[in-house]
C-alpha cells in the first residue's frame, strides 16, 4: 500500500474566490477572527462548538484554529478537514470543476481525497438544514454528484462521490470517514 502525503499547498482556497458566493457559516459558529470582537463572544462560540462536538475540547480548539484560517468554511467541513490532516491523508479542499464558482454550472467539491489506488473520492459535506430543505435541493445535489463521477481533478479520476451529513460527522466519526474512504456514505 502506498502512503499518501498531505498536499504542500491546498488549491481552490483563498482570496481568488472572494465574493463569488462562498458558503458562510452562521455568525454563531465563527471563532471571531477579527480584532474588536470581545473574548466573551469568542468564549461563547467556543462553548457552542464544544457542545456540538459532544464536549471534545481538544477537537474544538483545533477546529477553531482552522476556522480562523478558513473563515468561510462550515463547522462540519473543518471537523472533516482536521480528521483528514490528523490521518495524514492527501486531499484537496474546495477543488474546482467546470469553472468552479466563476462559471454558471461550475462545481466546488468540498474534499477530493487521493486514494492509494491512484484515483480520488469526493466528499461532499452536507448540512442538515440546507440540504434537507426541499426535494429540488436533493435532486440538484444528486445531479451534481453524478456530474463529478469520472471527471479528472488534480490529475486523478473521481471514482466515487460520497455525501457526509452534518449530524453523522458530529456523532458517528470516525466510522463515517472510514466508510467514505471506501466510497460509501452512511445515508446512501
**pLDDT tens readout for residues 13-33:** 444 434 444 444 444 444 444
Average pLDDT score over residue span 45-52? 88
* Angstrom distances, CA of residue 120 to CA of 139, 157, 165: 23, 6, 19
Q: What pLDDT was estimated at residue 14?
A: 43
Prediction pTM value: 0.69
152: left (phi over 0), alpha (psi -120 to 50) or beta: beta
Q: Retrieve residue 13's grid coordinates.
A: 482556497
Domains of the chain: 15-181 (3.40.960.10)
What would the pLDDT profile of 54-104 be if each residue is shown by its tens digit? Answer: 888 899 999 999 989 988 889 999 999 999 999 999 998 877 665 555 566
Contacts of 185 (CB under 8 A, 6+ apart): 162, 163, 164, 165, 176, 179
Q: What pLDDT was estimated at residue 9?
A: 46
Q: What pLDDT was estimated at residue 16?
A: 43
Amino acid at each position: 500500500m502506498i502512503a499518501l502525503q498531505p498536499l504542500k499547498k491546498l488549491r481552490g482556497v483563498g482570496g481568488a474566490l472572494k465574493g463569488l458566493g462562498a458558503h458562510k457559516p452562521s455568525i454563531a459558529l465563527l471563532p471571531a477572527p477579527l480584532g474588536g470582537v470581545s473574548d466573551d463572544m469568542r468564549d461563547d462560540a467556543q462553548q457552542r462548538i464544544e457542545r456540538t462536538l459532544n464536549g471534545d475540547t481538544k477537537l474544538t480548539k483545533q477546529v477553531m484554529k482552522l476556522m480562523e484560517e478558513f473563515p468561510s468554511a462550515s463547522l462540519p467541513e473543518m471537523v472533516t478537514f482536521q480528521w483528514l490532516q490528523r490521518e495524514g491523508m492527501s486531499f484537496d479542499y474546495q477543488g474546482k470543476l467546470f469553472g468552479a464558482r466563476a462559471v454558471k454550472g461550475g462545481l466546488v467539491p468540498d474534499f477530493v481525497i487521493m486514494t492509494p489506488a491512484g484515483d480520488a473520492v469526493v466528499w461532499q459535506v452536507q448540512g442538515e438544514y440546507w440540504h434537507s430543505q426541499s426535494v429540488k435541493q436533493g435532486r440538484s445535489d444528486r445531479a451534481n454528484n453524478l456530474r463529478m463521477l469520472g471527471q479528472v481533478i488534480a490529475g486523478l479520476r473521481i471514482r466515487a462521490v460520497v455525501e457526509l451529513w452534518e449530524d453523522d460527522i458530529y456523532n458517528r466519526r470516525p466510522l463515517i470517514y472510514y466508510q467514505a474512504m471506501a466510497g460509501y456514505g452512511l445515508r446512501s
